[in-house]
A = this chain, B = another copy of it.
Amino acid sequence: MRISYKGDYALKAVLHLANRYEDGEVVPINEIAAANDIPRKFLEQIMLILKGAGLVDSRRGIGGGFFLKRPPAEIRLGEVVRLIEGDIEPIACAKTPPEPCCAEIGSCAFREIWAEVAAATAAIVDGVTFADIMRRQRELKSAHQGYHYEI
């Protein structure tokens, strides 16, 4: 599974909203774009996808913006990844049910390997929520802070 710019942007945007989830803050797209160095109009498209999937909601007009519909602890990385990037499987024949790839579909040992890779990948991205990411981000930032302080 490759992560495109689009997917990377989506994850950063969701993380941005996750950090503002407490108190039900509404965040305008300009802020998300500027803070994460994402092209504004491109991010619009991405936010519409996230909204269409029910992950975020929005309010128009002055004071409007985007916000998560669920708490960060209930949003898994895998959900966003699948939304933007599509299948986790490295090849279509590794899906369940498998999409036909070759005549040997019933006896192709490669297919088993790709299914293993998909399962391992899914276990990781579905095992992490945005609450986990926020926590880890804080840890990394404070460690980095400390590093500078010691110099």
Q: Which of A41-49, A50-58, A67-75, A117-125 contacts B (4 or more CB under 8 A)?
A: A117-125
Distance between Cα atoms of A27 and B11 in the complex (Å):
48
* Interface: A77 (CB within 8 A): yes
A residues whose Cβ falls under 8 Å from a Cβ of B: 1-3, 8, 11-12, 15, 36-37, 77, 90-91, 101-103, 106-110, 112-114, 116-117, 120-121, 123-125, 128, 132-134, 136-137, 140-141, 144
9 nearest A-B residue pairs (beta carbon)? A109-B136, A107-B140, A120-B120, A3-B91, A109-B137, A109-B133, A3-B90, A107-B141, A107-B144
Q: B128 to A8, Cβ gap below 8 A?
A: no
Distance between Cα atoms of A1 and B113 in the complex (Å):
13
Contacts of A90 in B (CB 8 A): 1-3
Q: Across the interface, name the chain B residue whose C-beta is closest to A94.
A: B3
Closest CB in chain B relative to A51 CB, distance in Å: 21
Number of copies: 2
Contacts of A15 in B (CB 8 A): 110
Q: B101 to A128, Cβ gap below 8 A?
A: no
Contact pick for A140, options B102, B103, B106, B114, CB 8 Å: B106
Distance between Cα atoms of A132 and B96 in the complex (Å):
23
Contact pick for A114, options B3, B12, B36, B136, CB 8 Å: B3
Contact pick for A37, options B103, B108, B125, B134, CB 8 Å: B103
Closest CB in chain B relative to A2 CB, distance in Å: 5
Distance between Cα atoms of A8 and B99 in the complex (Å):
14
